[in-house]
Chains A and B, each alone.
Chain A
């Protein structure tokens, strides 16, 4: 199995390279950055000035190069699902695709000075979280587990990049199950 990162209006290449190595380390899978273009215009809602993450997932599904892979779109634009004011990301549970946005993870959005290191940490945690969903993991009650769901950017700092014992065991069994299927 391979994980692909697809930059979607994402300029910071160094951040993508860091993300790639973290994902590879956490999921123990090869990670590759896809050099393809996916126009996002159709997913844009001018009234909300946001992009529909469910629409992005449907487009990512069409791009999946092969069955034994997962793709995570990484973007700088603000994401929403219709019933919620915003989302940090979205994923297809036990599926192939996920998307994560750095928009609301940036300190400068909240009037604070830029903090590239904190942005990197938050983006990594949210990307691991969304990819965790693609492996069938759901939100975890352990506040330090990466699968714990927080809705404020600063709360993401509470959790670690790691899966708790239960989520790690579940991830392992889901990965094994998947490996047997292919």
Chain B
């Protein structure tokens, strides 16, 4: 939580006469994404101080010249809003209490436990942010994040974009339906990134990969010793998603017991870790995805009806690639540009035959399959354009013609076999299981040419 208002990194000043303390603390804070500066004494610290310049000031109680307590007063007179944390070399309760009474936020004793330091700073930042958070300011930030990574101009995809924009700013549960590889996770991330929860994490759970015993622990975490192998207390995904979004991929695959658990946590926003009794309350937005027909699963008694209605509040269906063929050239060029740049290879386009093949292929694995195919093609391509030979997809024989009549399929298949056999009529006829005369007849009938 290293954000202050406007998402600028918090600024921290370390005032300590020991070089090693200044160096190690500024380095630690820099690694944490904060803007850190240091001063070795009160004079240097006051020179650097300006109202609003530092969010947090770590101040050594023992300083040469003006001591930390005196400096604390001076700092407060320049910047009353700065949060001051005293550093002491020993646990002196008297001095610490005195500094707290004078307005210090807290004190730390050297050497500091890193976990304590992390939590202390993150709590200060969180408090400062909450205090200064301006809802009106946030509403002005209407930029659309990540949505530009979803490519498509087909009417079906434009409808999907509209749905994302409509539902993103709300807290509504979203169900994303689509075949494998259509980019359901990308849609979930776009919704999260355009929601007021975007400053908090989106946590993905692949429910398809969870066994019955594992789901509860994965969702809700477990206490140490809760079961064999639970050697540590572990946070669950719902706890990790607190404040943000939890994305349950392949939600149709969860077992009946976990369906009940899921229903409960959606309704109450509360749960206990496995083996624990502490009730944990979480604030999350739920997005689910499935490639199964959940309505059918409900009818077959494999998926709880009440859970289905809780998940299916706002539904977005992503069309498979074969139903939005007009997007294929756009997607191919997008992936080519991105992937070629990634490996610094000057591949800039597709041969017309390659593009025809890409447009005709049925893409059963959808966009994911296309991305992988183009990635491989970019790697093996020898010239500036990707050719049919570079593509790892089957030749056009397996492509689905626009016209799927038996005649059309036969025409494409015969042409493909002839091409593969170098128009050797005897061999082609053998493979096709017809005699040479019939093959000649079909070549003539379909007007096939080399």
Instruction: Give A residues with C-beta under 8 Å from B.
Output: 48, 54, 80-87, 90-91, 93, 107, 112, 133, 138-139, 141-144, 149, 151-152, 154, 157-158, 172
Q: A84-B117, A141-B1 are in contact. List 17 more A-B contacts (CB 8 A).
A: A54-B23, A54-B24, A84-B24, A84-B112, A84-B113, A85-B113, A93-B30, A138-B31, A139-B33, A141-B2, A141-B201, A142-B201, A143-B203, A144-B203, A149-B118, A158-B234, A158-B235
Contact of B32 with A149 in the complex, beta carbons under 8 Å: yes
Contact of A82 with B31 in the complex, beta carbons under 8 Å: no
Contact with B112, one of A85, A112, A142 (Cβ below 8 angstroms): A85
Contact of B231 with A107 in the complex, beta carbons under 8 Å: yes
| A48: chain B residues within 8 A (beta carbon) | 111
Contact of B24 with A81 in the complex, beta carbons under 8 Å: yes
Contact of B25 with A138 in the complex, beta carbons under 8 Å: no
Q: How far is the CB of A113 from chain B (nearest CB, A)?
A: 9
> Taking A54-B20, A82-B24, A143-B240 as contacts, is the C-beta distance between A149 and B201 under 8 angstroms?
no
Q: Does B90 contact A (CB under 8 A)?
A: no
Closest to B119 in A: A151
Contact of A86 with B114 in the complex, beta carbons under 8 Å: yes
| B203: chain A residues within 8 A (beta carbon) | 143-144
> Taking A81-B28, A107-B231, A112-B231 as contacts, is the C-beta distance between A87 and B33 under 8 angstroms?
no
- Total contacts A to B, CB within 8 angstroms? 79
Contact with A along B17-40 (1 / 0, CB 8 A): 010110111011011110000000
How far is B115's CA from A85's CA once the two chains are assembled, in angstroms?
A: 10
How far is B325's CA from A135's CA once the two chains are assembled, in angstroms?
A: 41
Q: Does B232 contact A (CB under 8 A)?
A: yes
Contact of B32 with A83 in the complex, beta carbons under 8 Å: no
Q: In chain B between 1 and 55, which residues have their CB closer than 8 angstroms to a CB of chain A?
A: 1-2, 18, 20-21, 23-25, 27-28, 30-33
Q: Does B299 contact A (CB under 8 A)?
A: no
Contact with A along B377-390 (1 / 0, CB 8 A): 00000000000000
Contact of A139 with B2 in the complex, beta carbons under 8 Å: yes
Q: Does B101 contact A (CB under 8 A)?
A: no
Dominant secondary structure at the A interface: loop
How far is B193's CA from A142's CA once the two chains are assembled, in angstroms?
A: 14
| A142: chain B residues within 8 A (beta carbon) | 201
Q: How far is the CB of A125 from chain B (nearest CB, A)?
A: 15
How far is B110's CA from A48's CA once the two chains are assembled, in angstroms?
A: 12
Contact with B111, one of A84, A90, A157, A158 (Cβ below 8 angstroms): A84
Q: How far is the CB of A47 from chain B (nearest CB, A)?
A: 11
Q: How far is the CB of A160 from chain B (nearest CB, A)?
A: 11
Among B18, B24, B115, B203: residue with most chain A CB under 10 A: B24
Q: In chain B between 218 and 267, which residues have their CB closer than 8 angstroms to a CB of chain A?
A: 231-235, 240
Closest to B224 in A: A154
| A112: chain B residues within 8 A (beta carbon) | 231
How far is B117's CA from A86's CA once the two chains are assembled, in angstroms?
A: 12
> Taking A82-B18, A141-B1, A157-B232 as contacts, is the C-beta distance between A93 and B27 under 8 angstroms?
yes
| B117: chain A residues within 8 A (beta carbon) | 84
Closest to A115 in B: B231
How far is B1's CA from A94's CA once the two chains are assembled, in angstroms?
A: 22
Contact of A83 with B24 in the complex, beta carbons under 8 Å: yes
Q: How far is the CB of B225 from chain A (nearest CB, A)?
A: 11
| A138: chain B residues within 8 A (beta carbon) | 30-33
| B111: chain A residues within 8 A (beta carbon) | 48, 80, 82-85
Closest to A129 in B: B31
How far is B28's CA from A90's CA once the two chains are assembled, in angstroms?
A: 9
How far is B224's CA from A107's CA once the two chains are assembled, in angstroms?
A: 14
Among A54, A83, A90, A152: residue with most chain B CB under 10 A: A83
How far is B234's CA from A139's CA once the two chains are assembled, in angstroms?
A: 21
